[in-house]
Amino acid sequence: MTNDPLVTPPVALGTWAWGDSGQAGNGYFGSRLTEADLHEIAEKAMTSGLTLWDTATVYGMGRSERALARALTQFDRGEYQLSTKFTPQIAGAGDDPIADALEQSLTNLGTDYVDLYWIHNPADVERWTQSLIPLLESGKVRHVGVSNHDLDEIARADRILGRAGYRVEAVQNHYSLLYRSSEEAGIIDHCRANGVRFFSYMVLEQGALTGRYGPQSPMPAGSVRAAAYNDVLPNLQALTDRMTALGAARGASPADIATAWAVAKGTTPIIGVTKPGHVDGLLRAGGAELTDGEIAELESLADATGVDTRGGWEHAMQ
């Protein structure tokens, strides 16, 4: 049985972009990242109580996990929580691919346990959920969650874990002002009703909701996110302008407003931080409370964009 409850900070730090090579324009995000910046991000976040770090082996095929381990070397293992993922599509050919994948993650992360281990997507719910049980029993995995699963898939995973005395403790899905399918499908209500933590990813739509990118200042040429977002940036202008105005009234940025919205909706955002200043934004977001009227206005502006940001790896939630 899992006996210690999953306790997490109000915001988690995402490190997908840390799996890029760090060269401008290269990779999924195409941001320029330096080891010095990543160390400073870790230092700032940890001293501010933001101690939950999300990664996955597939983020740069181990590069994100290794960069995270290097950034956290000056801290004791008990001071932070690690969240990483098993991605079915890269399962090896051994007898127990998920156990092998976990060992690889532990090596990359320089640890002997992970706090939160995810099945990255519902490719074969019955097979991969069952394989989590020995990992929980071994103590190498403290808590488990499912990502990109719909309500039926969450229920199936929960039944499998329940037979061994465990449960789905967390759900991690795409959830932003522009993409609210988990809310529409009742997944967020289900999590709230059952004491399951809902982690929202891509709350900033990979930078498209930060106000930094627009038709005159597109995402880095050659990156995957540029291909996904640059064409729709003009449609987002009215929304990001309103986020900018709401932020200005609070000494906050549009990104802070997006984060504050996700918190107000009862979720735990996982924010992909790439600069030390982003951590300051997360702290501001904690104090930037939105009224019900402002939330409704932002959602209505988001709907009016007509933009669908479902990732190529996601299936419809309803």
Ligand X SMILES: NC(=O)c1ccc[n+]([C@@H]2O[C@H](COP(=O)([O-])OP(=O)(O)OC[C@H]3O[C@@H](n4cnc5c(N)ncnc54)[C@H](OP(=O)(O)O)[C@@H]3O)[C@@H](O)[C@H]2O)c1
Bridge partner residues of 144 (DSSP): 117
106 membership: H or E segment, kind and range: helix 97-109
Q: How far is the CB of 315 from ligand X (least distance, A)?
A: 11
Distance, in Å, from the CA atom of 36 to the CA atom of 212, rounded to the nearest integer, reads 22
Closest chain position to ligand X (CB): 272
The nearer residue to ligand X, 117 or 201, going by C-beta atoms, is 201
Q: How far is the CB of 202 from ligand X (least distance, A)?
A: 4
Question: Would you give the end-to-end CA distance of the chain in angstroms?
Answer: 32
The nearer residue to ligand X, 44 or 140, going by C-beta atoms, is 44
**DSSP-assigned letters across all residues of 250-296:** TT--HHHHHHHHHHHTT-EEEEE--SHHHHHHHHHHHH-PPPHHHHH
Instruction: Give residue for tokens 């101690």.
Output: 51
The nearer residue to ligand X, 146 or 161, going by C-beta atoms, is 146
Distance, in Å, from the CA atom of 318 to the CA atom of 298, rounded to the nearest integer, reads 23
The nearer residue to ligand X, 164 or 214, going by C-beta atoms, is 214
Q: How far is the CB of 95 from ligand X (least distance, A)?
A: 26
The nearer residue to ligand X, 183 or 205, going by C-beta atoms, is 205
- Report which residue type is found at 72: L
Q: How far is the CB of 130 from ligand X (least distance, A)?
A: 20
Q: How far is the CB of 76 from ligand X (least distance, A)?
A: 23
* List of residues 6+ apart from 170 with CB closer than 8 A: 6, 116, 118, 143, 144, 145, 146, 196, 197, 198, 199
Q: How far is the CB of 279 from ligand X (least distance, A)?
A: 8
| List of residues contacting ligand X (CB under 6 A) | 14-17, 29, 31, 54, 120, 147-148, 172, 201-207, 210, 212, 253, 255, 270-274, 278, 281
The nearer residue to ligand X, 142 or 149, going by C-beta atoms, is 149
Distance, in Å, from the CA atom of 196 to the CA atom of 149, rounded to the nearest integer, reads 14
